[in-house]
Structures are given as structure tokens and as C-alpha cells.
Structure 1
Amino acid sequence: MTDPLKKRRRRSRLMTYGAVAAALALTAAGVGVAQAAATPPPLSFVAATGQVTAERYDYDGEIYLSFDLGLHVIAGKDPLEIWAKRTGYDKPITAERVVVQNGKKKKVALPAGLVPDFNGLKDFTTISIADAAGQVVKEYKTPFCGNSWSSARTRPDAPAANPYPQSCGGYNPFTLGAVWGVQAGWDAQVVDQPPYEDDQPFDLPVGQYTATATVNPVYKQLFGIPAEQGTAKVGVTVVDGDTDRAGLARIKAADAGPVEAAADEHSVHTAEGDAKRQVSAYVPELRAPAKRPTPLKAAPTGGPRPDLRSLPAWEIALEQEDNKWYVNFGATVWNAGTSPLLVDGFRRTGTELMDAYQYFFDAKGNQVGSRPAGTMEWDPREGHLHWHFTDFAQYNLLDSTQKLAVRSGKEAFCLANTDAVDFTIPNAKWRPENTDLSTSCGANTVIAVREVLDIGNGDTYSQYRPGQSFEVTDLPNGTYYIQVLANPEKKLAELDTTNNSALRQIVLGGTPEARTLTVPPVNGIKG
């Protein structure tokens, strides 16, 4: 089965090498030096180069356009920082900009309607593409959030580090809060392609084009972008990449790169936090512990704790396989607490089991205790091949009276910070280190493992993963509820265990030969 998540990740990675090159070009071309010589505007909109080449590939029957206009914004003497949040799924998203006045930070509300979702500022840029005859062949609008994997400082006097997340955080439909930012003197890439649609992939025939990108007047005024910098033009030459075998090899290599390979089990969508915050609060090393704690300290009676909360199941779909019917689903458990969830596993010599311990920290981030937290087990199945913590979550299908009908076979987990669920809560970790399976869960040759779920971050298991489903072949038609339950055996110490369960209603119908599935939205959210 084709995983639509992989298409989305693959397509975004397709442009990574171009984005990095464009970011380097900003500095190499002298943009930073020129800006350092004078007081820069609050925000600049620039094109790294006036001419780019776009490679067009026919890859196993699918068209790929390696298209990167090299559009960027650059923050002036102060960062561009925006906080977006909703207090409930039935509430609108509100957004505030953090501004510096008289040396102090304060939040100023953005005009209503600019942030309808967590993908960024709506319609930030209008991009018009004309062919060699001057005829406009494509025109579309793109959002902007500022968070960027390829961000770099553009002038010598810019701060040494960028504290802001590396992705926008709008992928999970049940995201609650996001932080978007461009560090002072740093750049952020501007989205230059239309929203991805499976039935209408972005494509341009081989030829010559001119792309004109214009910042929405609302944002030019709001962020102080100079009038002469509101528009950028870039010449585009589309070439047949299939004649460039090295180029095609790059595409295929990117398609099987470390992000995709590491993302077998999880959705990978993460980011992180404020530089000062990362120094002062809860920054456990991710390397595995060397040995069991001796003596083992008891868990403190008070102090910071994680708070595991479940989001409603999402991306729910009906599938038939080997004459059986399954309901597949994605599920997210996140940490809304005052401490990271940190679990260390210690291998029982000569076995495929580890004893797991949860660790606790004081308000300064010092380790102050631990307690047994169940076990970890080695999962040898293809697509896993790592250590699973066995007491993190449970998935149940409940009937209309909310009694257990089916339990999912998925009951062990590799913890990773895959989703930015709410980066607006205190001490949220905007730049977590363990964001996928390449940074978590270990190999079968290790004797110890460390797994972490940081504050504000969620761990998502997307649909189509082994065991991430319920068999419903023999269930009668009717209303059911998918329950995502965190900390089911209460072996983990938390601030609150009353918020560990989330229910998502589904309705089964049809006939044994042709079953149907209806998934009512949650306060209008159809995810």
C-alpha cells in the first residue's frame, strides 16, 4: 500500500539540497556583509540568485520537479517571532507577535484571519510563473512560518545560534500551539511551490520561465518590509533531468535517505526551543546510560513531572486484506507536563529484555530520583528492529456503550519527538534531539537505551504501521470509539492521569463483502 505520508516527506526532501545551496549563496554572495554595514530593515525579502535551473524527472511514472527559486526572508536587528495557539478544537487559532520595545519583550496580537491553521501565515507570497512568451501559466499563493531546516546567519554580527523550531508544526490536525521564528540576522526559506495535491502534482514542461514573487501588502506593512523589496524576479530554466543520470541518482538517494529510513514507524514532524531555555531547563543527554543506578533513588514526592495526554485518533481508514477488514489509524501521545519523560532501559544479560526506569528532575534540571517503569523488549520485525518500551500506551476499540470490543496488537513503543503539539507551553523543547528512529531506540547490540519525550512534543505512530489497526471483520455495524490511552498500567509517574484517554467516534456500516467507514469530524476537524 502506498503511504501518503511518504509522498509528502519525499517531495519536501527533493528540494533540500537546493535549499541548502541557496542559503549558502546568500552569504557567499555578500548579502550578509552588505547588511552588516548598515541598520537592516525589520524584515527583508530577497532572492539568492536571479537565475535557477529546475530539473524535471520522470521517476517510475511519477513526475518530480526539483524546483527552488531561492526565496528568503532575513530578520533585522530583532528576531521575527510568532506564537499561534488554540484553547480547544472548537476555538479559533489566535496569533501574537513577540516584539521588543525599550529592551523588553511583549506580545502583540496579529490581525484576525492571518493564521487559519498551523501551516504558517496565510497567503504570505503570491507567485506568478510566465513562459517565454510572457503568458502566465501558473499563479498561486504560499504560506510562511519562518521555521526552516536550512536557515543560516547572513551577516557577521548575527547571533551564533538559531533557537527556533525547524518545521512549522501544522502536519498533525490536532496541534494545539506553535512557535514560528526567524533569528535576528538569519534567513528563512520562503515556500515557493503550490500546496501538494496527489491528483495535480506541480509540473512545468521543459523550457524558459520567469517567476515573480510578491509579498502580500498586509505583511509588508506589518513586518516593515521595504517597498522596493516586496517583489523578486527569478528566471527559471526547466531541463530534462532524466538525461542527467547523476541528478536522478541524487533524487533516488534522497528518496531512501536517513529521514525516510528512520521514519518507518513514526511520523517525523518536529522542532525545538529557546537557547536560554535549553541551557536552564531539562536537557538530558540522549546517550544511553552506562549502567543501572546504584543505589536506586526513590522517586521524589513532588516536583516536576511529565503529563501524558492523548490526542484523538486521526488519518483513520478502512482496509481489506486477506478477506479481513481492518480499521487503520494514526495516534499521538504528547507531554504537557513540567518535565520530560525520560526512561532508561538496562539489558538483562543474554536476553532480549531490558528493565526500564523513569527518571525525575528538580526545577533546575538536576536528576533527583528514579523508579521502575516496566520493561523494554527487542522487536525483530521488519520496519522495527529496535527496542520498544512496553508501558507507554494502549489502543482500544470500544463499542457504543464504551466497553472493549477489540484491542490493537500495537502495545509497545519507541519514544521519539515526532510532532510539535504545543510549543507555547512553559519550557517546551523547540529543538528536541531524538526526532526519529535514527536518534532513539538502539540496536540489538546495545546493553542500554535512553528514550525521551520532551515537553510540548508528541510521539505519533501513523497508520499502516504493523499492529496499528483493529480487525473489524466480524463486528456488527454501528458506532464505535477508538481509544488512545497513555500510561495504561499507571507505571509512569505523572502530574495528572485523568487526561490520558482520548476517544474518536467511528461508524461501521455496509455488508460483509463491502464494509463502509464513516469518521465524524471533531469540532469541524476532519483529520
Structure 2
Amino acid sequence: MSQTLNYPRWLVAAFSVAFASVLILAYGIRGAVADPSSSLAVGPTDQVPDLVMLPLADFRLSTENGRKVLRFTVHTENKGGTLDLTGSRSNASTASLTVVQNMHQTGGGVRSIRTNAAMRFAVADGHDHWHVSNFAEYKLRPVGSSTWRGAHKEGFCARDTVHIEGNAPRSFPNNCEPGRSDALKVAEGISTGWADRYDWDLWGQFIELDRLALPGDFCVAATADPLHLFAEAPKDNNTTSSLVRITAQDVRVMRQGC
């Protein structure tokens, strides 16, 4: 047999007020979280680099090992946040340095990102310093052909060579640890508004022209980070190209873009 419990009216009223207060408090907290206008703390964000290949310059013909070659100057500018790379190895018996990208953030923080890039000590160019492999790519094809041929230069010492715009300081002025084949850690990069320049007369800064019909029209292209080794955006400004006419005696730029 069931029994009905009779509570005093004052106790029922007190319980009802307390329950209503809990509901109001819970709704208020939920509303504060859901309200996009509420002043919640925002965490640091990445200042992503933006590598831009500037128009090619200083085209000229030369001869290397008895073969005619095309030479030109390349500028890779960084229009975004600092490109900061650190190569390291545990001991000197390992030939390559593994590379992390140090992503600078708003508020002054830095977070490290693992990459598939490598640094190698280069001696063939006479610089005797550390290069970031596949940092850029140069190539040429005859107009009307889909077959490209590449340049000799594949590794690059990424550093602040030329100031292009803005007021960011020069953070990477060194020459990539010259003579330090025993180095265990190497810092390279390009600061905001600075460019890494490779002049036409440097070693490897050419594409061979043997077995190509001259005179002729050719597309010459240069791409920054062709293998997408680094976090940087956007990607649609990483390549520049020039349409050039090459004869046996000289080279002339017909237009930018091809």
C-alpha cells in the first residue's frame, strides 16, 4: 500500500526557488559560452611565411666546359612571416642535417615543425657552406614543347641578401656556416621583406643549351619550394617565368610570363 508524503509548504517553496536558481545559472553559463560576442581569450596564431619568386633578371649567354649555357639572376622574397629553418644532427658522421621550421607566432612564441627538408655541406660551388636541398628549382623548355630541362644548382644557402620592403631587421645575415663541415646545428632563413639573391655569375646558376635548336623561343621558369617542404602560403606566387629569345650570340626577354 502506497503512502503519500506531505511536506510543509515552506519547504516546498524553498526547494522550488533553489531549483529555479540552478536552472538560471546553468543557462547563463551556456549562453556566455555560445555567445560569439563574449570576450574569450584568443590563443597565438602562426605568422606564416610567403615565398615569392620575383621576375628573373640579368639574362646572358656563357660557356661552361665547352657548352653554351643560359645564365640569369634569381630573387626569392619572403612577403609573410619569418622563414626560420634549423638544421641539426647528433654527430658529424651523419652527412645531412634534418630540418625543422620554427614558426613564429603572434605574442612572440615559436613552435617547431618537422619537415622533410635536408641541409648538406656543398663544396662544388666553392662556397664551402650548408645548403638547403631543393629550396628552389630552375628549368627551361622550348616554346611548344612540354619537355623541361633543369639547372645545375639544386641547393641554396637561404639568407637575407637584399632588403626589398618593410622594416623587419636582417635576422639571417650569415653565410650558412662557411668552412664548418663539422657543424651540428645550422640556422638559415629569410626575414619578412627580405630576399635571397643568386646572381647570374654564381656556380651552377645556369641551364645548358646543347642539342637545342637556335635561334628559338624558350620559357624559363623558377620556383621557390617546388616540393612543398615548408609551411608557407599562398603557393600561387612561388613561380615566375620569362619568355626569352635565344640566338647563338645573345638572349632577349620578350615578356614576363610564358
Q: Name the TM-score, length of structure 1 as normaliser.
A: 0.38
Cα shift readout 1:299-349 (whole Å, capped 9, x = no counterpart):
x99631000010111111101244310111110111011x10011001253
Identity %: 23
Q: Structure 1 residue aligned with 2:160, among 392, 395, 417?
A: 417
1:434 Cα offset (Å): 2.6
* One-letter amino acid of the counterpart of residue 123, structure 2: P
Q: Which runs of structure 2 are paired with 1:55-66 in the superposition (5 Å)?
A: none
For residue 35 of structure 2, what is the aligned residue in structure 1?
none
CA deviation after TM superposition for structure 1 residue 371, in Å = 2.1
Query: In structure 2, do the counterparts of structure 1 residues 435 and 389 end up closer, same or farther at CA, with 3 Å as the change threshold?
Result: same
Q: Which residue of 2 aligns with 1:516?
A: 250
Query: How far apart are the structure 2 equivalents of 1:401 and 1:313?
Result: 21
Q: Deviations over 1:457-496 (max 9, x none)?
A: 0000101111100110211132112211001000111121
- Counterpart contact for 2:244–2:255, Cα < 8 Å: no
The alpha carbon displacement at 1:395 in A equals 0.8
For residues 382-421 of structure 1, what are the structure 2 equivalents within 5 Å? 383-401=126-144, 403-421=146-164
Give the distance between the partners of 2:75 and 2:251, measured in 1 at CA: 21
* Structure 1 residues 459 and 470: alpha-carbon distance in aligned structure 2, compared to 1, 3 A threshold: same
Alignment match, 1:482: 220
Structure 1 residues 382, 327: CA separation in 2 closer, same or farther (over 3 Å shift)? closer
Match of 1:359 in 2: 102
Return closer, same or farther for 1:447/1:481 CA change in 2, 3 Å cut-off: same
Higher relative contact order (CA 8 A, sep 6+): 2
CA distance in structure 1 between the aligned counterparts of 2:198 and 2:125, rounded to whole angstroms: 16
Matching residue of 2:113? 370
**Secondary structure, counterpart of 2:247 in structure 1:** strand
The 1-side partners of 2:210 and 2:71 are apart by 13
How far apart are residue 504 of structure 1 and its match? 1.4
**C-alpha deviations, 1:54-91, integer Å up to 9, x for none?**
xxxxxxxxxxxxxxxxxxxxxxxxxxxxxxxxxxxxxx
**Structure 2: distance between partners of 1:521 and 1:419:** 24
Q: What displacement does 1:416 show? A: 1.1
User: Take 2:235 and 2:136, find their aligned partners in 1: how far apart are those partners?
Assistant: 12
Look up the match of 1:465.
202
1:331 match: secondary structure: strand
1:309-388 equivalences under 5 Å are 309-337=52-80, 339-347=81-89, 349=91, 350-381=93-124, 383-388=126-131
CA gap 1:441/1:481 in 2 versus in 1, 3 angstroms:
farther
* CA drift at 1:435: 2.8
Residue matched to 2:190: 453
Shift of 1:502: 0.2
- Output the aligned Cα RMSD: 2.3
Deviation at 1:357, TM superposition (A): 1.0
Is the contact made by 1:345 and 1:355 (CA closer than 8 Å) also made in structure 2? yes
CA distance in 1, matches of 2:141, 2:90: 36
| Structure 2 contact 60–250 (Cα < 8 Å) conserved | no
Q: Structure 1 residue 373: deviation in Å? A: 3.8
Matched AA of 1:400: V
| Kept after mapping to 1: 8 A contact 2:151/2:207 | yes
How big is each residue's C-alpha offset from its partner over 1:490-513, in whole Å with a ceiling of 9 and x where there is no partner? 011112111100001211224xxx
Q: How does 1:32-71 map to 2 (within 5 A)?
A: none
Alpha carbons 2:171, 2:191 under 8 Å: kept? no
Report the AA paired with residue 191 of structure 2.
D
Tell me if 1:307 matches 2:45. no
How far apart in 2 are the matches of 1:472 and 1:462?
A: 19
Q: Which amino acid aligns with 1:356?
A: V
Alpha-carbon distance change, 469 to 347 in structure 1, aligned in 2, over 3 angstroms: same
CA distance in 1, matches of 2:237, 2:145: 17
CA-to-partner distance for each residue in 1:163-214, whole Å, 9 max, x for gaps?
xxxxxxxxxxxxxxxxxxxxxxxxxxxxxxxxxxxxxxxxxxxxxxxxxxxx
- Cα shift at 1:382: 5.2
d(CA) in 2 for partners of 1:454, 1:402: 37
Q: TM-score, normalised by structure 2?
A: 0.75
Q: How many residues align?
A: 212
Query: Equivalences for 1:160-179 in 2 at 5 Å?
Result: none
**1:334–1:375: structure 2 CA closer, same or farther, 3 Å change rule?**
same
> Does the C-alpha gap of structure 1 residues 369 and 406 become closer, same or farther in structure 2, counting only changes over 3 Å?
same
| Equivalence for 1:502 | 240
Task: Tell me, yes or no, if the aligned pair for 1:373 and 1:391 is still in contact at 8 Å.
Answer: no
SS, match of residue 182 in structure 2:
coil
Q: Which of 157, 161, 173 is matched with 1:435 structurally?
A: 173
Q: Please tell me the residue identity of whatever aligns with 2:75.
A: T
* Structure 2 residue matching 1:368: 3-state secondary structure: strand
8 A Cα contact 1:418 1:436, kept in partner: no
The answer for unaligned runs of 5 or more in structure 2 is: 1-42
How many angstroms apart in 2 are the aligned matches of 1:405 and 1:369? 35
Query: Counterparts in 2 of 1:52-451, with a 5 A limit?
Result: 303-337=46-80, 339-347=81-89, 349=91, 350-381=93-124, 383-401=126-144, 403-423=146-166, 428-429=167-168, 431-437=169-175, 440-442=176-178, 443-451=180-188
